[in-house]
Amino acid sequence: MNLSMSRSALVSFEPTSQQNPTSDRLVQAPIIRLSEIMSAFSVALDVTQGHPQGHCMRSCLIGMRIAEVLKMSTADRSALFYALLLKDLGCSSNAAKIAHLFGGDDHQIKHSTRLIDWTDPRQCLGHCWTNCAPGGSTIEKLLKMAAIVRSGAEAGRKIAEIRCERGAEIARMLQLSEPTAQAILDLDEHWNGGGNPCKQKGEEISLLGRICGLAQCVEVYFTAFGLSSACEMATKRRGKWFDPALVDALLSFKNEAPFWAQLDSSQLMSEISRWEPEDVTLLADDTRLDRVSEAFARVVDAKSPWTYLHSTRVAEIAVGIANQFGCSSGFEQDIRRAGLLHDIGKLGVSNAILDKAGKPTDEEFAQIRRHAEYSYQILKQVPAFGELAEVAGGHHERLDGKGYHRGLAGAEISFATRILTVADVCEAMTAKRPYREALEWEQVQKILAKDAGKGVDPDCVAALQTWYEKHEHASRVDSQLEAVERLVAEL
């Protein structure tokens, strides 16, 4: 294959799929209900926290029912609705730190933390023993525990601060209301002042934040142990963790069986849509959809210092390739969104694997490979994202059928997916990994040329080179190393 193919040759390229690369769109609706997108994306936040899928949506149902009992205003209920759905927006930002501190699976550690009273030293000690260096020797466990004890309460406060501040920042990026951002910031504060990160007390904590804090804990206990245990936990922590009036509001509908049955519904997204105040329903037009894609790319790329800026760079490269084909601005906009969201499923992969110093084992690689399927499953929940989900979930497919997650081959792989695949491969090779150095552009070209026609599309590779050589490209390695340095400094 001639990597110096001219632009005129590229423009005349006809994709093997039935798509028209100059006009086809990957998003099939100009305006989408924002709650529809956020409900689907909240599942990605669930898996980042180690919760069963639907945690945020179930928390939303509980919190909105409490708001109904309190007869809150429409504006407050709208702000609360999005705070509940997106309360975990900052959860990926402390994943690497938790995995390093405990030497274990951040998903398991985060989830199990919600099932204990971490203000009780005895429960904390048991939790540490269970989760520090799992599978390790007694000495390894004790060393990890000693490091956590040395870091003291300040380490826990800092972890909560990173998560809450980052979540509020992204909520503002989404241009959600300030009460929504404030609720996310206040998520882990306690009524008695013993929470984090600011040790606020009583009504110093925003009402929406107090509701979110109660709702998320009730959901965790409800899903793990049942309604009676959830209500018992709330009663025990009444006046300590939780606002007494909110616990009373919760208990007022304890016996409403139809309501609690909703939490077990297989159609949670439909249930959720009925709780958004109709007269202030938020919609996502093109501008907001771009903002949502950018925001969740930040959530994904914050998961590990090694993935820092990856999604943003993939999106940039994908648009560059599409531009060489003379694609429409609408197609370029959608392929950019696919690039920003293609790794949303990677939130479901433990940092114990993503940040591992050595090369992943076969079993660990198998877990990493599942992220493409996770991305597809999350995105397809939004009906208008059907084609976008196919493209984003297919970014590891190969022309020879040896890719994943479906093992598609040849003409089964769409034009847009071929673009995204080449963009992802290029970006990944030019970045550093814990087990290898970044490759120089010349090395990347050789590898892509060798794989062209077998794994990756040769015309897309040619388009990549044409675009790449017209633009300056700062290495992402420096940004990665800076992210690693920040993590080490926080530890």
Asked if the peptide bond before residue 405 counts as cis, ω within 30 degrees of 0, the response is yes
Phi, psi of 433 (to 5 degrees): -125, 160
Residue with tokens 């990549």: 464
* Boundary residue ending a domain (244, 262, 280): 280
In this structure, the strands spanning 32-33 and 283-284 are antiparallel
Into how many domains does the chain fold? 2
- Domain containing residue 313: CATH number: 1.10.3210.10
Residue 7 has pLDDT above 60, yes or no: no
Q: In DSSP terms, which residues pair with 436 in a beta bridge?
A: 433
* Same structural domain, 211 and 301: no
Per-residue model confidence as pLDDT tens digits over 102-160: 998 999 999 998 988 888 888 888 988 899 989 889 998 888 888 888 877 777 788 88
User: Per residue in 326-350, is it b (16+ CB within 10 Å) or e — as a string?
Assistant: ebeeebbbbbbbbbbbbbbbbbbbb
Peptide bond just before 277 cis, omega within 30 deg: no
**Three-point CA angle 54, 59, 63, nearest 5°:** 150
pLDDT band at 484 (very low <50, low <70, confident <90, very high): low
Asked whether residue 442 is assigned to any structural domain, the reply reads yes
Cα of 31 vs its chain's centroid, Å: 23
Predicted structure pTM score:
0.89
Phi, psi dihedrals of residue 456, rounded to the nearest 5°? -115, 160
Q: Which of 280, 310, 344 is the last residue of a domain?
A: 280
Q: Is residue 136 part of a domain?
A: yes
Catalytic residue ranges = 346
Residue-wise pLDDT tens digits, 66-78 = 999 999 999 999 9
Residues 274 and 305 in one domain: no
Tell which of 226, 261, 280 closes a domain.
280
- Kindly state the average pLDDT of the residues 331-340: 97
Distance, CA of 275 to CA of 365 (rounded, Å): 40
Contact in structure between 341 and 311 (CB atoms under 8 Å): yes
Amino acid in position 18:
Q
SS3 string of 360-413?
Answer: CCHHHHHHHHCHHHHHHHHHCCCHHHHHHHHHHHCCCCCCCCCCCCCCCCHHHC
The pLDDT assigned to 399 comes to 97
Pick from 206, 448, 223: which is nearest to 317 by CA?
448
Give the residue numbers spanning the domain of 335: 7-27+285-490
Task: Write out pLDDT tens, residues 234-292.
Answer: 999 999 999 999 999 999 999 999 999 999 988 898 899 899 998 889 999 999 999 99
Region for residue 203 given its phi and psi (left: phi exceeds 0; alpha: psi -120 to 50; beta: otherwise): alpha
* Percent of the chain whose predicted confidence (pLDDT) is above 90: 69
The CA–CA distances, whole Å, from 6 to 87, 89, 132, 324, 325 equal: 49, 44, 57, 10, 11
Structure tokens at 187: 């998520």
pLDDT of 314 over the 50 cut = yes
